[in-house]
């Protein structure tokens, strides 16, 4: 019994030492394994998206009227609002984001979703007869997105995180009305 326990300990120690040698890149350690993006000199991997910065806290905000139409996202209009007291940027998950940048530094990221998008996982494929309905192809939808003002930011982009497509947004924005907005009462 004691011999079996000793053999098990020896095997565990050998496995641990072997994994440490591979992690430290020891010569001959798992020489047949493919290179990983963490390897030195590899630049064919896409650069990672930087993490969300600390939320900006300000009274000065912008409301972006973001629209999805003909399978593309765009900004229809922008207006400025002043809150009663400073508020931090909300942190959400979402397919889309408005990002504020100064050089290569991410100043703010506001993630959001657009209504009825994201449920069409069969997009581009032949739809089976019993597939759920598809909305994205002919859908027109919009949302009002609250973005904090940043005097530091020099540029802004609207990002579709599912496709990687970006749309440059003028920063700082100027107030505009939506180009084809209907009556205020909706009818």
Average pLDDT over residues 124-143: 75
Beta carbons within 10 angstroms of residue 77's beta carbon: 19
Q: Which pLDDT score, from 0 to 100, does residue 34 have? A: 44
pTM (predicted TM-score) = 0.65
Mean per-residue pLDDT of the chain: 75
Pick the residue with more confidence: 181 or 171?
Answer: 171
With beta carbons less than 8 A apart as the criterion, state whether 45 and 134 touch: no
- Which residue, 78, 67, 150, is CA-closest to 112? 67
The per-residue pLDDT for range 23-63, each reduced to its tens digit, is 454 444 444 444 444 434 444 444 568 898 999 999 999 99
- Which residue, 157, 163, 110, is CA-closest to 136? 163
Average pLDDT over residues 8-20: 52
Q: Is 106 exposed, middle or buried (0-12, 13-18, 19+ CB in 10 A)?
A: middle
CA–CA distance, 150 with 91 (Å, rounded to integer):
17
Average pLDDT over residues 167-186: 67
pLDDT over 90 percentage in the chain:
42
Average pLDDT over residues 114-118: 80
- Tokens 């505009």 belong to 176
Element (H, E) at 3: helix 2-23
């Amino acid at each position: 019994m004691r011999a079996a326990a000793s053999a098990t300990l020896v095997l565990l120690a050998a496995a641990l030492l072997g994994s440490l040698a591979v992690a430290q890149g020891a010569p001959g350690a798992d020489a047949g394994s493919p290179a990983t993006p963490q390897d030195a000199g590899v630049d064919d991997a896409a650069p990672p998206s930087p993490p969300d910065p600390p939320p900006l806290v300000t009274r000065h905000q912008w409301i972006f009227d973001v629209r999805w139409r003909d399978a593309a996202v765009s900004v229809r209009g922008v207006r400025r609002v002043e809150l009663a007291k400073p508020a931090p940027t909300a942190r959400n998950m979402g397919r889309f984001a408005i990002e504020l940048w100064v050089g290569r530094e991410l100043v703010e990221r506001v993630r959001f979703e657009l209504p009825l998008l994201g449920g069409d996982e069969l997009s581009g494929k032949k739809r089976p007869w019993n597939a759920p309905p598809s909305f994205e192809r002919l859908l027109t939808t919009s949302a009002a997105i609250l973005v904090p003002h940043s005097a530091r930011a020099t540029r802004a982009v609207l990002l579709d995180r599912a496709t990687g497509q970006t749309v440059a947004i003028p920063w700082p924005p100027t107030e505009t009305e939506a180009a084809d907005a209907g009556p205020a009462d909706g009818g």
